[in-house]
Amino acid sequence: MEDLESVRAELATWDDDLLEQENMYVACKESLVLERSEVDSWNKVLIEEQREHALTNKANIALNEKYYVLKEKHNKLEKQYHLLSKSNS
């Protein structure tokens, strides 16, 4: 009879341990779902930032091209000015 009681007590302990592990599993699973949702949100933010970066980069390239064209024109005008000022002196 004592053996039966000790087996029952041991089974009850195992049952409690299994319930605790199951609760931990459910909590971990719920936490994982939340983490995945947060990762998805951050991925969307990252994709939008990358899109904006690409647009900014294109605009920067276009502005640099315009800058070099204007710089060339400025240099030509400066040379013409110097030639004119030398010829008038």
Which pLDDT tens digits describe the chain residue by residue (89 residues)? 778 888 888 888 898 899 999 999 999 999 999 999 999 999 999 999 999 999 999 999 999 999 999 999 999 999 999 999 988 87
- The C-alpha atoms of residue 76 and residue 84 are separated, in whole angstroms, by 12
pTM to 2 decimals?
A: 0.62
CA distance 54 to 47: 11
Query: Which pLDDT score, from 0 to 100, does residue 24 have?
Result: 97
| Alpha carbon distances (Å) from 3 to 6, 10, 31 | 5, 10, 42
